[in-house]
Amino acid sequence: CAEYFSEYTCLFRGGLLSRMDDIISELENLLLSEPFRRVVTPAGNLMSVSMSSCGAWGWTSDHAGYRYVSISPATGMPWPDMPVTFYQLAVYFAGQAGYHDFKPDSCLINCYRPGSIMGLHQDKDEADLSAPVVSFSLGPGAEFMWGGTERSMPWHTIHLYHGDVLVWGGKDRLRFHGVRRVLPEWNPWTGDCRINLTFRKTEQSN
């Protein structure tokens, strides 16, 4: 069932499909207290992707930079707890990909409406880059760019679909990547919104 793009990146096609009821109901519940919102980049550009977070640390951005914070800038309260179902699934798939001590303390939830994109970037705001990142894709499919360790390197296109889980770490942790296009589809669970959850360990030690 697992497909390896390299020694360090593993795709589980449809890995979440049997758990979709649970995942969507947890998601709907946490979005009640932490709705999607759009943030600005340090350069002052409004991102086309809207975001929420759960867990001890949530990602945010503003004029001062990109960072993880423990208080939601939108609510002034701690982020919602990470649902146990999410945590267990993320740890399970990390383990299946060979990453055995994954203890995510952050789950970023991205919502891509038709036309939303995420430019090529590296994920390097986390203190411990030896921990993998686990991503869950829900809703309409996307063309994902999987690049090299330099921005100028060519990228491969990976299609990500509803229910897919992607785990990457090791030497792939610092690859440039982004979302080039979200397919104009209607998904029974998410409508026209592509939702991506990324589970990370953001703190140096647990």
Q: Which stretches of the chain bind ligand MD3, using CB under 6 A?
A: 9, 108, 110, 118, 123, 135, 144, 146, 166, 168, 172, 175, 177, 179, 196, 198
Residue 67 to residue 120: CA distance in whole angstroms: 18
Residue that the structure tokens 């959850």 belong to: 197
Q: Tell me whether residue 195 is annotated as binding.
A: yes
Report, in Å, the least distance between residue 5 CB and ligand MD3.
Answer: 8
Tokens 């203890």, located at residue: 103
Q: Which chain residues interact with Fe ion by CB under 5 A?
A: 123
| Nearest CB to ligand MD3, comparing residues 105 and 123 | 123
165 strand-pairing partners: 12, 136
Q: Are 176 and 150 in contact (CB under 8 A)?
A: yes
How many residues make up the chain in this entry?
206
Is 108 annotated to bind a ligand? Reply is no
Our measurement of the distance from residue 48's CA atom to the centroid of its chain's CA atoms, rounded to an integer in Å, reads 15
Structure tokens belonging to residue 7: 């020694």
10 contacts which partner out of ligand MD3, Fe ion, none, CB within 5 to 8 A by kind?
none
Q: Is 87 annotated as a binding residue?
A: no
Residue nearest ligand MD3 (C-beta atom): 196
Of the pair 8, 87, the CB lying nearest ligand MD3 is at 8
Q: How far is the CB of 39 from ligand MD3 (least distance, A)?
A: 12
Check the annotation: does 162 bind a ligand.
Answer: no
Phi-psi region of 185 (alpha: psi -120 to 50; beta: other; left: phi over 0): beta
Shortest distance, position 112 Cβ to ligand MD3, whole Å: 7
Lookup: tokens for 121: 């970037």
